[in-house]
Amino acid sequence: MTDEEKKQEKKAQDKLIDSGGLAGEVSQLINKYAGGQIPVLVDEKDPKNGLINGELLKIYQRGFAGENLVPLGVLFAKSTNVKWEEGNADYHLSEWSKGDWTKVCSAIRLCTKGNKECELCDRQWAAVAKGHGDVVAYMCVHGLVDFAMPIFVEKEAIAVIFTGQVAPKEGTFWNREFVEENGVFLLEGCDNSGVEARRVTLERFGESERQYGLKAGTLLRKLNQDVDANDAVEVTPEDVEELRNKLREAGRHLSNLAESTYRLEKSKAVGGLKSAIAWSAAQVDVERVAETLPSIVEGVSEAATLICEYFGIDYMLVLNIKTEKSSFRILLENTPEKMPWKRGVWADELDEESFRGLADVVASFPRFLADADLWPLRKRPFFDWVATWLQGKQASRCVGARLDRAGLLPCVLLAGRKAGLKLSDFHEQDKSDFARIIEDIGAVINIVLFIDELRAAGESQDVFLEDVAHEIRSPVQNLLIKIERLKSGSVQPNEVLDEVGRLGAQVRRIHQLSQRIWVLERLRRGYSELDKRGLVGVHQAIMEVVRTLDDVAKGKNLTILVAWQMKEWRAIRIDHDLFFQAMLNLVDNAIKYSSEGTEIRIDGEMKLYPKCRISVINRGIEIKEQYRDNIFKRGVRTSEAKMHIWQGSGIGLCIVKAFADFYHGDVKVECNPIQESSDFVTEFRLTFTGAFL
């Protein structure tokens, strides 16, 4: 940088600082801590060289040395609520006490509108930032924040760096909000407590390894290396030999896995989930698989490194076997033009022009290795993951390939050949080793995915059985005691009828449970079990439900109203028993949670496809938003919904969901407060499709 340039830069800094705004103040702080190396907070003309993409990373690396975390963003806050002692105005992060943390976290809370909503989106508490000890700060940065650490404090200004991963809010690519021109979020007047805040996004580096249980430090080391080192790494014969040894070792592991894979797939295919669980539990040494994976990943990673190095490819997306090529294309098509990686291509579809473009890649960009990027695919939807990952990498061009069919290496070779690159100096055996190991990783991923599925299914089944057992034992206990009471003669003759009625209620409770379990079992067995010929008059079936539950509703002085228009609906082909049970559960649920003396409304509409929508609306207790998804899940042990909707096992709503899924529909719940009342209006909206006669 020439003297003149330095002067200009200083002038720009002064301008910011002189502006008296928080940006200037923070810029001053950053300059102080970064040794005056940071030109400006944000250089709109050249954002890549400003704080966001450059210097703050170095600060991060210095501050987080040894921490296996990925920087996510920085929050700068000016809070009148945080008072620092005179003479000790700035703290290095290591000097922060728990008290300091509490103050800072309080300031962060204030920046998030009184613990309610994120300023940047419509989520409530979308993220939780954990500090030292018990200190927890809540704020939304459109995703999960693992950790928060302050980097600067001066008087009333605070800077907290957040680390973790960024999950796009929704959709198929990341939020525009996150990638605004200068990457700065201005949070003006975010509350009325004297707090101003500006949040600055920081370059994100893809996934946190820690988040996905990968070996510690790899990504960070890589980042450290690549910040300063743009030189190509020379691949020596020793490197190749070492790699080959690793590949052989990985190959041995893989052969051990092959048999297990075969058994797993076979059992999954022929026996259904239940037998698969039993079979795999007996046949698969899960621990052994877990031990094997790291070495396989390492071997494949190194193979990928060499391939990337040889062909000069910046980024190699090693995609999950389930990833569809069309998904990759959609990702690219949805990428804004300004995104540098717009020109990513699917390897075996590259046209000549694109391959020439690929050659540019070789010349223009530093090498990166996708070493740690295989496993996040297990955890995240493809789009989210790729978007975040590429954003973090600042990828310009990339090559995508699936692991199935031809495998990655042939795609890459094809890409290289078309691009006019010189072909490999490796021996054919080397290529073969690469190809095999990269293909095999797909099998390993599948094993891991399947084991995850099995574990989840097994756990879910355990919880479900426990719920069922719970639901049976309670009424049986009630019956036992009731019988004892009757036997004891303490029941007066005029009370006997009532007691018998109560006994009946307990028996019906058990009967209802058995019905629900049977319905779920029929659904599990699939389409062949259902009545495909029966025609159901929806209105008739609903009236049948209403009659069945009439006594229960009267017990709470509830009125059930069914929309008269439903009488005009045409009969449709759906399984009567299943529909009846689903509706019974919905109405029964509404009765349970309605306030006494209120109305339950059943309404709906039918379209000609035919597609039906039935709403069951009641007035009563609130189902909090965060619990609304869980109430339809089967065997969710930690369903907070069950704390609020305590009665019953929750199986009833599982059946409603299963019915909706089976008939290509859905069930949603909405819950809105009623003004000047503690009650809420809850609407369960069931949609499904059937067939006309």
Sign of the C-alpha dihedral, residues 74, 60, 183, 169? negative
Residues 6+ apart with CB under 8 A from 646: none
Report the alpha-carbon distance of residue 471 to residue 508 in Å, rounded.
12
Q: Where are the alpha helices (DSSP H) in 489-575?
A: 493-525, 538-548, 550-555
- Shortest Cβ 461–another protein spacing (Å): 15
- Shortest Cβ 581–another protein spacing (Å): 24
Closest of 106, 148, 107, 110 to residue 127, by C-alpha: 148
**Cβ-based nearer residue to another protein, 528 or 647:** 647
- Shortest Cβ 277–another protein spacing (Å): 20
> DSSP label at 382?
H
At position 141, the amino acid (one-letter code) is: V
**Cβ-based nearer residue to another protein, 354 or 639:** 639
Q: Please give the span between the terminal C-alpha atoms of the chain, in angstroms, as a whole number.
A: 80
- Residue appearing with tokens 């790291």: 294
- Shortest Cβ 675–another protein spacing (Å): 24
- Shortest Cβ 468–another protein spacing (Å): 11
**Cβ-based nearer residue to another protein, 451 or 479:** 479
CA distances from 184 to 24, 177, 562 (A): 14, 9, 53
Joined tokens for residue 274: 């239940």
**Cβ-based nearer residue to another protein, 611 or 628:** 628
Residue 558 contacts residue 591 (beta carbons within 8 Å): yes
**Cβ-based nearer residue to another protein, 432 or 477:** 477
**Cβ-based nearer residue to another protein, 196 or 467:** 467
**Cβ-based nearer residue to another protein, 457 or 476:** 476
At position 151, the amino acid (one-letter code) is: I
Interface residues with another protein (CB under 8 A)?
466, 469-470, 473-474, 476-482, 484-485, 488, 490, 502, 506, 637-640, 642-643, 646
**Cβ-based nearer residue to another protein, 594 or 639:** 639
Helices (H) and strands (E) in the chain, counts: 20, 17
Query: CA angle 260-263-268, nearest 5°?
Result: 125
- Shortest Cβ 680–another protein spacing (Å): 18
Residues in the chain: 693
Residue 421 contacts residue 234 (beta carbons within 8 Å): no
**Cβ-based nearer residue to another protein, 19 or 477:** 477
- Shortest Cβ 142–another protein spacing (Å): 24
Closest of 405, 440, 409 to residue 248, by C-alpha: 440
**Cβ-based nearer residue to another protein, 561 or 643:** 643
Joined tokens for residue 263: 């058994």
**Cβ-based nearer residue to another protein, 236 or 638:** 638
- Shortest Cβ 490–another protein spacing (Å): 6
**Cβ-based nearer residue to another protein, 478 or 548:** 478
Residues 6+ apart with CB under 8 A from 332: 342, 344, 345
CB-side exposure of 155: number of CA atoms within 13 Å?
A: 7
- Shortest Cβ 477–another protein spacing (Å): 4
**Cβ-based nearer residue to another protein, 332 or 641:** 641
Burial 427-460 (b: 16+ CB within 10 A, else e): eeebbebbbbbbbbbbbbbbbbebbeebeeebee
> DSSP label at 424?
P
Sign of the C-alpha dihedral, residues 624, 626, 632, 636? negative
**Cβ-based nearer residue to another protein, 391 or 594:** 594
At position 236, the amino acid (one-letter code) is: T
Closest of 438, 453, 451 to residue 254, by C-alpha: 438
Report the alpha-carbon distance of residue 388 to residue 393 in Å, rounded.
9
Residue 630 contacts residue 656 (beta carbons within 8 Å): no
List phi, psi (to 5°) of 612. Answer: -115, 145
- Shortest Cβ 122–another protein spacing (Å): 24
- Shortest Cβ 676–another protein spacing (Å): 23
- Shortest Cβ 462–another protein spacing (Å): 10
What is the H or E stretch that residue 223 is in?
helix 218-228
- Shortest Cβ 475–another protein spacing (Å): 8
CA distances from 394 to 175, 222, 390 (A): 16, 15, 6
Joined tokens for residue 41: 């907070």
- Shortest Cβ 473–another protein spacing (Å): 4
Burial 670-685 (b: 16+ CB within 10 A, else e): ebeeeeeeebbbbbbb
What is the H or E stretch that residue 145 is in?
strand 145-154
**Cβ-based nearer residue to another protein, 66 or 489:** 489
- Shortest Cβ 627–another protein spacing (Å): 10
Neighbours of 130 (CB within 10 A): 15
**Cβ-based nearer residue to another protein, 441 or 468:** 468
- Shortest Cβ 592–another protein spacing (Å): 13
